[in-house]
């Protein structure tokens, strides 16, 4: 297994990690095609042509409202009052969320290894996707049992890149920042983690460009989920 790449050295690290907070889309599961399909079905219902993948990609990761607003704008459609379109997208996505979505290679095996050999380490999910959809995907893919806590973009008063959901999860699970790490494929994950004072791990195999992630100087980068096992403090 390739070694993880430490990019930024904090003198407090490495310390044993008692809580690993994971993003969902682009980190644990490859859901890109189903998100794009749902976006283009929304546009088709509005008699608009489909958008290319790369015009949709930048809008993924900051919640459904942000995604729908961005897609409408990219398609040249009015996006000032998009509440109804958000509801319509949610209905479409619910129908197609599991058409092609699947765990990235090594996810199931690595989660099992962490839960069995992690010395009591807890794993939480923090997605900007609504909590209900997050749970449905994890349950359908038989991943939900690995997580102590599952949270979505509507679980707390704010969503990533705010540190609030990270801080709330640490509070609920009784884990200090010094013993917490967040893993994600977007700048929103890293920004939330840094603002909360936890270790940050960038997943470079996900949806956002590697250069954007490295610009935020994460503590570690991983090019496959299984490389998380090599990060100091994850396994005893």
Catalytic residues: 23
Task: Kindly state the greatest CA–CA separation across the chain.
Answer: 56
Q: What are the CA-CA distances from residue 84 to residues 81, 89, 90, 102 (Å)?
A: 8, 9, 10, 29
- Residue 56: CB atoms within 10 A of its CB come to 23
CA distance 174 to 169: 8
Instruction: Tell me how far apart the alpha carbons of residues 72 and 152 are, in angstroms, rounded to a whole number.
Output: 23
* Residue (of 211, 209, 198, 206) closest to 222 by Cα position: 206
């Amino acid at each position: 297994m390739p070694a993880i790449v430490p990019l930024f050295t904090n003198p407090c690290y490495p310390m044993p990690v008692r809580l690993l907070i994971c993003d969902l889309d682009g980190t644990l599961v490859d859901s890109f095609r189903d998100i794009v399909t749902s976006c283009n079905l929304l546009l088709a219902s509005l008699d608009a042509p489909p958008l290319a993948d790369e015009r949709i990609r930048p809008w993924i990761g900051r919640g459904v409202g942000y995604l729908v607003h961005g897609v409408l704008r990219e398609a040249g459609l009015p996006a000032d009052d998009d509440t109804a379109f958000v509801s319509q997208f949610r209905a479409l996505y619910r129908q197609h969320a599991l058409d092609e979505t699947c765990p990235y290679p090594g996810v199931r095996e690595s989660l099992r290894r962490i839960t069995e050999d992690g010395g009591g380490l807890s794993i939480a999910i923090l997605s900007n996707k609504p909590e209900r959809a997050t749970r449905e995907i994890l349950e359908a893919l038989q991943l939900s049992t690995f997580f102590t806590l599952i949270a979505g973009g509507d679980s707390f008063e704010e969503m990533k890149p705010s540190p609030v959901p990270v801080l709330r999860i640490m509070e609920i699970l009784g884990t200090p920042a010094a013993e917490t790490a967040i893993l994600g494929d977007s700048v929103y994950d890293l920004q939330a983690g840094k603002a909360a004072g936890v270790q940050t791990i960038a997943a470079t195999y996900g949806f956002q460009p590697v250069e954007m992630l490295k610009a935020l100087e994460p503590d570690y980068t991983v090019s496959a989920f299984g490389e998380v096992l090599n990060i100091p403090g994850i396994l005893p």
